[in-house]
Amino acid sequence: MDTRQLQSFLAVAHYLNFTEAAKHLFLAQSSLSRQIAELEKELGAPLFIRTNRTVTLTSAGNLLRKEADALISKIDGLITQIHQLQEGLTGDLKIGCLGVEKYFFPELIKNFSEKHLHIQLHIDWFSLKKLNQALEAGHIDVGFSLESEVQNIPNLLSKTLYTDRLAVVVPCDHPLASTTSISLSELAEESFVIMSRNEVPNSFDFITKLCIQKGFFMKITKEAASLETLFLLVELGMGLSILSYKMQANSHSNLRFIPISDKDALISIVISWNKDNTNPIIPLLLQELDTILSNLS
């Protein structure tokens, strides 16, 4: 039984006349009669009593008439949902956040949600290490991360969103707080608190090697497992830190981010996803990201 048969049945039930029903459906009467006969055979019961002059509904026909509209509506709705699911117009998307995305993230979520009313977004915050693990395991669909931390993970695909300048993070009462720009070599005598190598091994190595290239070894007093801990340690005067400049959107109000002027003090921010993830909503989010970032640039 399909919607075509049900629609043909409803037309005959309405007109109680095969000729009129066939005209309404733009069908040959023989085709309509065949459809009704096939439906009656499938149901195992006659739906109409036919005489030379009249057509009336049987008890089975009356029952089907009461339910047919709802059945057609339900089937059509189900077909629509399946099409929307395949096109990414409905469903769920799980997003992992690190903090590097904060300056564009509210606008992204607002615009995406307004355009795609039937898509549910699930947002969670991770440390970088756990975010990568969640992507690999398929616990999240996409994650915002650092290019250096995902580029060597074979199962992950990435799209570069922007390249940001590194900045030194200082307390507001630090002597460098009023500086508008600084070179790494000017920080040779400073102490540092940085993100733990266990959490961000490639970024840790990149920053420490960058300092070596500028002629000094970083004096690391503490390693932090989270951004919140790092900000607190800087605030308490335990040392300065080096982060992406746009991370200041996540920081405390009594910290200052000073851009590092060295031409190679750059870091790329990416959105990543598992190459085996076939969620059709991912391309829609990437498309919206392109629009948002082009407007911000």
For residues 161 and 153, give the distance between their C-alpha atoms in angstroms, rounded to a whole number.
18
For residues 242 and 184, give the distance between their C-alpha atoms in angstroms, rounded to a whole number.
10
Out of 3.40.50.2000, 1.10.3720.10, 1.10.287.130, 3.40.190.290, the CATH code matching 95-283 is 3.40.190.290
* pLDDT mean across residues, the chain: 90
pLDDT digits 0-9 by tens, 258-268: 999 999 999 99
The DSSP bridge pattern shows strands 91-97 and 119-125 to be: parallel
Model pLDDT, residue 87: 58
Model pLDDT, residue 143: 96
Same CATH topology for 3-87 and 95-283: the answer is no
For residues 249 and 185, give the distance between their C-alpha atoms in angstroms, rounded to a whole number.
26
Model pLDDT, residue 233: 96
Higher pLDDT, 115 or 257: 257
8 Å CB contact between 148 and 105: no
- Indicate whether 6 pLDDT > 90: no
Percentage above 70 pLDDT, the chain: 96
Per CATH, which fold does 3-87 belong to? Arc Repressor Mutant, subunit A (1.10.10)
Model pLDDT, residue 231: 94
Please name the residues in contact with 127: beta carbons below 8 A apart, sequence gap of 6 or more.
Answer: 98, 199, 225, 226
Model pLDDT, residue 127: 86
Domain parsing of the chain, residue ranges: 3-87, 95-283
**Which structure tokens are listed for 224?**
């932090």
8 Å CB contact between 242 and 169: yes
The DSSP bridge pattern shows strands 142-146 and 91-97 to be: parallel
